[in-house]
Copies of this chain bind each other. A is one copy, B any other.
Amino acid sequence: MATIRDVAQKAGVSAATVSRYLNNKGYISEDAKRVIAAAIEELDYRPSMIARSLNTKQTTFIGLIVPDIVNPFFPELARAIEDVALAYGYTIVLCNSDEKIEKEVHYLTTLQQKYAAGFIVVTSNEEADHYTTLDIPIVAVDRRIHTSIPFVATDNREGARIGVEHLLASGCQNILCMRGPAKVGPANDRFLGFMDAVEGKGIEMHVVECPFQFEASELAARDQLQQHPIDGIFASSDVSAAGAMKAAYSLGIKVPDQLQIVGYDGTMLSSQLTPSLTTVAQDVYKIGTLAARMLIKLIEGQDVTEREIQIPAELIIRETTRSEAQ
């Protein structure tokens, strides 16, 4: 690899001049520009970002910390972030934390001492010290970390409320809420939204807590369906809804005739199921782009006025509900 001094020598100028050329700083004659450009071309010279970083102290890596990229919510988020990162000259480093503090801390420290300019983080860990004490910018996505850390997410409470309203409007009288884990912020918000919709309506309701995981959800749903005459399910993730559909199928319960189901997330899965799933869709791509933009602004020292962004969710009515209203 050619260095800046190789270029300088070939062009018959000093390294300083080449550096100025590369960064469009200070005065450079047209002659010098021409001869430097030629030398760069000829040597196929590319500046070493690492040498540059050493004294500018600036890098273009963004660490993306997610629980597990295999969970279908995150690839889409990653994709969105990567798209804006690319546009602004950043690249993203993928970190799977499995929700474990040790892994989060590991990535935070190694990447910081390596090269990271900032982080985008999705975590449910209560202890946020290792985030608040960081000296590079962070943006939290999906789950709030600490009031001092900027945050982007769906308006989950309102989203859930809309989904449950739809179930109500479609005639459900006996609703099961398959709520997510209590320690996950958005799961709680969705549960609150469920309560908002259901309260004072005089309908019967059941609540079961289950992880965003297929088998466990199927089991929980089957159990509830056997115990109660349920005619509507609000699942707080599409995966749980898929589990519920499977449970209904194996119990011979017809969807949507005997049982209506609303999922949450709006992942690919929801449209690929048979019958296709009515769901409350999050605009994950938008969340990702907004978070990335915000982080890059922070990195580049620009003003960030809105430090908390809530994106509305959208109800997508498909085949697991009857929407009697229509």
Chain A residues close to B by CB (< 8 Å) = 46-51, 53-54, 59-61, 64, 68-70, 72, 74-76, 78-79, 82-83, 91-96, 107, 109-115, 214, 239, 242-243, 245-246, 249, 268-269, 271-276
A245–B273 Cα distance when bound, in Å, is: 9
A69 touches B82 (CB 8 A): yes
Contact A70 B75 (CB under 8 A): yes
Query: In the complex, are the beta carbons of B273 and A273 less than 8 A apart?
Result: yes
Q: How far is the CA of A94 from the CA of B92 in the complex (A)?
A: 6
Per the bound structure, the CA–CA distance linking A79 and B78 in Å amounts to 13
A269 CB to closest chain B CB, in angstroms? 6
Determine how close the nearest CB of chain B comes to the CB of A41; give it in whole angstroms: 15
**Could you list 17 further interchain pairs (A-B, Cβ under 8 angstroms) beyond the known A54-B54, A272-B273?**
A46-B112, A46-B113, A48-B54, A49-B115, A50-B59, A61-B93, A69-B78, A69-B82, A75-B75, A91-B94, A93-B94, A94-B94, A214-B271, A214-B272, A246-B272, A249-B275, A269-B269
- Closest-by-CB residue of B relative to A215 is B271
Contact B91 A114 (CB under 8 A): yes
If A70-B79, A75-B75, A93-B94 touch, whether A50 touches B273 (CB-CB below 8 Å) is: no
The closest CB in chain B to the CB of A46 belongs to: B113
Query: Is B91 within 8 A of A111, CB to CB?
Result: yes
Partner of A93, one of B74, B91, B268, B272: B91
Contact in complex: B110, A91 (CB < 8 Å): yes
The answer to whether residues A246 and B274 also contact, given A50-B115, A75-B70 and a CB cut-off of 8 A, is yes
Residues of B within 8 A of A59 (CB): 50
Contacts of A115 in B (CB 8 A): 49-50, 115
Cβ–Cβ contact B93 & A92, under 8 A: yes
Q: Give the most central of A83, A93, A94: most B CB within 10 Å.
A: A94
The interface centre, meaning the residue of A75, A79, A92 with most chain B CB atoms within 10 A of its CB, is A75
23 CB contacts below 8 A, A to B, read A47-B113, A48-B54, A49-B114, A50-B114, A51-B54, A70-B76, A72-B75, A79-B96, A82-B94, A82-B95, A82-B96, A91-B95, A91-B110, A93-B94, A94-B94, A214-B271, A239-B272, A242-B272, A242-B273, A242-B274, A246-B274, A249-B275, A272-B273
Q: How far is the CB of A6 from chain B (nearest CB, A)?
A: 15
